[in-house]
Amino acid sequence: MKAKRGKAGQYVDYMIIIFWISTMAMVGYFLPYLIGYLPFFKVRGINVLSTTYIPPSAISEIVVQRYKGNWLYMSSDGLKSAINSRFFNAVEELDIRRLITKEGAYLEIYLKERKPYFTVFYQDKVFYVDQKGNLFQNPYIPITYPYIYTYDVSIVKDYFKNINSLISVMGEGLKEIYLSDIQTVLYSEKGNKFILPPIWEIDQQIIGSLSRVYNMSMTGSTVDLTLKDMVILKEGLNSK
């Protein structure tokens, strides 16, 4: 039969538990500062590769601000998320490689940025869409054709396939697309205006009609494709 422990023994047990909890709390509190102070965990150099638009200095700045120049807690996914928080979804892929020495680590950051397929204007904001239909922002990208003006950014993403079909037909000759809830209006480099149904109503029949009339020799004309099985052509008018 086990002897009952006295109050003194229980008191010692409580003190051991309290000491253990206090010690762990202090370790948890001071450990990040200790790691940040030790030279071994410092980032000594950063080499950013394969950047097209975002300057390497901007990537290095994010590394310093987010990770305090410490490589231990750094991950490829974490850094990609941090960059995409500043440049909305601008980075498609990212990989970090570390060369660790006793003085610290040298980083090679491999970056693949999204490239613009067309430019989207929504209110006072500028977005880009890549060839996979991903919406992103990047202040370092020059604004290029074709331009798309919309009252709702989400419809650009939802009906990317239809927009892509329009671009495929007109190619570099397409300059602007205006999206509204009643029609889709296209402007070509020759000053021609093409009026189509709303973007969600555009089907292969309309794409086929656009392809046929677009290849016609005309300048400053208006082509109405909103009526089923009918093309209305107003030659010599430029109502833009």
118-234: what fold?
Rossmann fold (3.40.50)
pLDDT at 34 over 60: no
Q: In Å, what is the CA distance from 23 to each residue of 13, 16, 20, 45?
A: 15, 10, 5, 35
Percent composition of the chain: helix, strand, coil (DSSP 3-state, to 5)? 40, 30, 35
Q: What is the pLDDT of residues 175-232, one digit of tens each?
A: 999 999 999 999 999 889 999 999 999 999 999 989 988 877 778 889 999 987 777 8
Domain boundaries, the chain: 39-113, 118-234
In this structure, are residues 122 and 101 in contact, taking their beta carbons and an 8 Å threshold?
Answer: no
**CA 106, CA 174: separation in Å to the nearest integer?**
46
pTM, two decimals, is: 0.76
Tell me the pLDDT tens digit for each residue of 62-110: 888 887 777 777 889 999 999 999 999 999 999 989 888 877 788 889 9
Residue 165 is inside which H or E element, if any?
Answer: helix 160-170
Pull the structure tokens for residue 13: 């047990």
- Rounded to the nearest angstrom, the gap between the alpha carbon of residue 64 and the centroid of all alpha carbons in its chain is 21
Class of domain 39-113: alpha beta
Distance between first and last Cα of the chain: 100
DSSP H or E run through 170: helix 160-170
Radius of gyration of the chain (CA): 30
